[in-house]
Amino acid sequence: MREWTRFDVIVKGKGMWLQDTKGNLFLDGVASMWCNVWGHSKDELVKSITIQAKKLQHSSLFNLTNDKAEELATKLVRLAPNMYKVFYSDDGSTAMEVSAKMALQYWYNKGEKKKTKFVTLENGYHGDTTGTMSLGYVPAFFSRYKSVLFPTIKIPSPNKYRTPNGFTFEDYVDHCLDEVEKTFSQNNNIAAFVMESGAQIAGGVTVYPGGFQRKISNLCKKHGILFILDEIATGFGRLGSMIEYQNQKSTPDIVSFGKMLTAGYLPLAVTLASKKIYDAFLGQHHEMRHFFHGHTFTGNPLACATAITNLALYKKYNIIPKIKKNSTYLQSRIDEISDLDLVGDVRHKGMLMGIELVSNKMKKSPIPLEKRIHQRIFNEAKKHKIYLRTLGHVVMIVPPLAISERELEFLMDGTIDAIKKISEKIT
């Protein structure tokens, strides 16, 4: 924290650009923490917020509902295959806490009170609250809190760049799936398997190999274990598909969405459940089967109205084909990036790219912390008028989904030049 003694203060956003108090402009290369879709100050979204603010700013969903929460829920269950009902929350962490509690109480309501264990992938990430730190344990982030986290069964996650010695990548993928099968077969107290859908992002940007997620989904169904997916950061077009689990040919019992749900304009997250899950909570009040969970701003009409407009814009501007086109452009730059001195690996899907920096390409050695690579990249990128951020030694390219090809080219040129400049300074 001592290294960050001063910050640029952002006061305005227009299109893909942020402006600070001094008038400096920065291309938003991380979509304001992976959530911005259309850029800043999009007219339709601003108008939607303004209109709703004049009607109803907030109304509780406790013993009531509101028209915007109802309308959005209807749209979401039509959009997401196999989903039946929507539970509203505030952000990705809370949505995943909802997922976990929902799974536990599902089994409790079914009379299976021993089913309390969660199986997760190593290097998965599901948020920063206590429950989600337990589900998505990234040691670099959460080791200080380990004493208060609940234990989970962790399955190795395939990373082609860091496949263990003695395995081909294909063999290691099979090994990971075998571990899932073995774990399911040897434990009768498992409530659910939890994973990010399509790719692990905060854990290092690891894109799953083809069929991996589908096979885990099938194993869950085979063993009668709930399948929970986290599409907070990977859904709504980030990986090139609107609903990533549909693209992965997998079927969750519970799935959470957030980040891009409101195009990054207001906090809102949702947890969707299948009919099987929902029905397990029905009963008379004295049976106490209902879901004991809620948030003050659950189903906030301002946020829901914004999300409704955002979904309409996806259709109006036909954004998914544009994402696929820009994804092809990102793919075309991979060889150029890979040739840079500090770059060990480049991982990419849709509008997501992770550039792993290493101090030794042969040994794949991460750059030592004392080199402060995160701060160097951030400061060098600013010189190129880019807001760029790393996760450790992995440079993240996560721009707003509607970025133009010209701006995307500007982003990639600046990123490449920034890495070159840093390479000259630390090698």
pLDDT at 271 (0 to 100): 98
What does the domain layout of the chain look like in residue ranges? 10-38+318-426, 47-316
- When pLDDT is averaged across residues 326-355 and rounded to a whole number, the result is 97
Tokens of 249: 């040919």
What residues contact 240, with CB distance under 8 A and at least 6 apart? Answer: 247, 320, 323, 324, 327, 349, 350, 351
Q: Which has the closest alpha carbon to 35: 266, 275, 212? A: 266
- When pLDDT is averaged across residues 10-22 and rounded to a whole number, the result is 98
pLDDT at 143 (0 to 100): 93
Residue 94 CA to residue 43 CA, distance in Å, equals 29
Q: Which has the closest alpha carbon to 39: 16, 57, 55, 70? A: 16
Q: Over the chain, what is the mean pLDDT?
A: 96
Q: Which tens digits make up the pLDDT trace of 380-411?
A: 999 999 999 999 899 999 999 999 999 999 99
pLDDT at 3 (0 to 100): 77
Q: Within 187-318, where are the H helices? A: 212-223, 244-247, 275-279, 301-316
- When pLDDT is averaged across residues 352-365 and rounded to a whole number, the result is 95
Q: How confident is the model at residue 167 (pLDDT cuts 50, 70, 90)?
A: very high
CB atoms under 10 Å from CB of 3, counted, come to 7
Architecture of the domain made up of 10-38+318-426: Alpha-Beta Complex (3.90)
Residue 121 CA to residue 391 CA, distance in Å, equals 19
Q: Which tens digits make up the pLDDT trace of 255-294?
A: 999 999 999 999 999 999 999 999 999 999 999 999 999 9
Q: Which tens digits make up the pLDDT trace of 198-226?
A: 999 999 999 999 999 999 999 999 999 99
CB atoms under 10 Å from CB of 53, counted, come to 12
Residue 219 CA to residue 179 CA, distance in Å, equals 11
Q: How confident is the model at residue 331 (pLDDT cuts 50, 70, 90)?
A: very high
Residue 231 CA to residue 234 CA, distance in Å, equals 5
Q: Which tens digits make up the pLDDT trace of 121-151?
A: 999 999 999 999 999 998 888 999 999 999 9
Q: What is the DSSP letter of 135?
A: H
Residue 311 CA to residue 318 CA, distance in Å, equals 11
Residue 231 CA to residue 284 CA, distance in Å, equals 33
- When pLDDT is averaged across residues 78-93 and rounded to a whole number, the result is 97
pLDDT higher than 70, residue 427: no
- When pLDDT is averaged across residues 308-316 and rounded to a whole number, the result is 98
Q: Which CATH number fits domain 47-316: 1.10.443.10, 1.20.1370.20, 3.40.640.10, 1.10.287.610?
A: 3.40.640.10
In 156-231, the DSSP E strands lie at 190-196, 199-200, 206-207, 226-230
pLDDT higher than 90, residue 2: no
Query: Where is 381: in which H helix or E strand?
Result: helix 373-383
Residue 302 CA to residue 284 CA, distance in Å, equals 32
Q: What is the DSSP letter of 124?
A: -
Residue 264 CA to residue 236 CA, distance in Å, equals 12
pLDDT at 5 (0 to 100): 79
C-alpha Rg value of the chain to the nearest Å: 22
Q: How confident is the model at residue 366 (pLDDT cuts 50, 70, 90)?
A: confident
Quote the percentage of the chain above a pLDDT of 90. Answer: 94
Terminal-residue alpha carbon distance, the chain:
25
pLDDT higher than 90, residue 31: yes
What is the Cα 327 distance to its own chain's centre? Answer: 18
- 204 burial (CB, 10 Å; 0-12 / 13-18 / 19+) is buried
